[in-house]
Amino acid sequence: MKILTILEVAELLQIHRDTAYRYVRAGKLPAVKVGRSWRVLQEVLEEWLRERSGRGAESRPKAKPQKKAKNPLIAGLGMFEHGGLTKDLDRALYGDRHT
């Protein structure tokens, strides 16, 4: 039975140390606190990985297409629709000769 530090876990998983800490603190990765440090049993880590290896791309929920986000201020003012802002600026700066 080998006991791993969070840094060793992070290196094995090829993730940042802070990510490994987040997994442990969130309860996603089983670990034991020894004093002020977290430890993970290697066999527990291996089992954790086996459980997740069955979750391939086909078993993940598909991402929903996202709507194009609009700035509510701009949407409310309608400033950019059909070049309205540009035309208004041109009119203000150059008069009617450039529109």
Q: What is the pLDDT of residue 23?
A: 95
Contact (Cβ atoms closer than 8 angstroms) between residue 46 and residue 14: no
| Side-chain-side CA neighbours of residue 55 (13 Å) | 8
Q: What is the mean pLDDT of the chain?
A: 78
Query: Which range (1-10, 11-20, 49-58) has the least confidence?
Result: 49-58
Task: Report the pLDDT averaged over residues 60-65.
Answer: 61
Which region, left, alpha or beta, applies to residue 27 given φ > 0 means left and ψ of -120 to 50 means alpha?
left
Instruction: Please give the share of the chain, as a percent, with pLDDT higher than 70.
Output: 58
Confidence (pLDDT) at 53: 86
In this prediction, residue 1 carries a pLDDT of 83
Q: What is the pLDDT of residues 87-96, one digit of tens each?
A: 666 676 677 6
pLDDT at 38: 94
58-77 average pLDDT score: 57
Residue scoring higher pLDDT (40 or 84)? 40
